[in-house]
Amino acid sequence: MTTFMQWIHLSAAVIGVGGIAFLLFLLIPSARVLAPEQHDALLKRVQGRFRWVSWSVIVLLTGSGLYNVRAYYWELAWGRAWFWLTIKISLALLVFAVSLALTLPLPFLARFREQRERWLSVALALAMIVILISAYLRRG
Ligand code: HEM
């Protein structure tokens, strides 16, 4: 079961973070060659599809992450491992918040979507720190 949950957690992280990097480094810059109408239509369609990917990734990371906390940390006393895990989970929640702000179809979030690239860069940078802390926890 722990191997299965590790597989779910890693696969969701790869798809989620890889998806953000793909948007930021490949799709959004490449879409600039399109005429404005086509450009907007493409990004709208991508946003609609990315919504389901990112929401699924959030559910899977949270479910498998909580399982991992229960399996590996629950019995541990407060200390270095819990400290870094708490920072990791807080940063992961920030990444989720940015992803939701970019994908929830709520009118008041339109100003986030206008600065899509900036927020995707923030999410990617935070996610890279989350992966670094996860690697550190794994070795610890
Ligand atoms: C942006 C979101 C997240 C990313 C990119 C991420 C990524 C990772 C990665 C790459 C690992 C290492 C897995 C391995 O080496 O097998 C890991 C482990 C882990 N993750 Fe996450 N994770 C995220 C969110 C979460 C959340 C929300 C939780 C808890 C609710 C969580 C809890 C854990 C735990 C407990 C481990 C095991 C750490 C250890 O090896 O001691 N993760 N995560």
**Above 80 in pLDDT, residue 1?**
no
pLDDT on residue 84: 98
- Separation of alpha carbons 119 and 93, rounded Å: 14
Contact 118/58 with Cβ under 8 angstroms?
Answer: no
Q: Considering the entire predicted model, what is its pTM?
A: 0.95
Q: How far is the CA of 20 from the centre of ligand 1 (A)?
A: 17
Report which protein residue has its CA nearest ligand 1's atom 28: 65
Task: Please tell me the predicted confidence (pLDDT) of residue 79.
Answer: 95
Q: Is 65 in the pocket of ligand 1 (CB under 6 A)?
A: yes
Q: Average pLDDT in the 25-45 region?
A: 97
Q: What is the pLDDT of residue 36?
A: 96
Ligand 1 atom with the smallest distance to the CA of 91 is 1
Q: Tens digits of per-residue pLDDT, 48-96?
A: 999 999 999 999 999 999 999 999 999 999 999 999 999 999 999 999 9
Neighbours of 86 (CB within 10 A): 12
- Does the Cβ of 87 fall within 6 Å of ligand 1? no
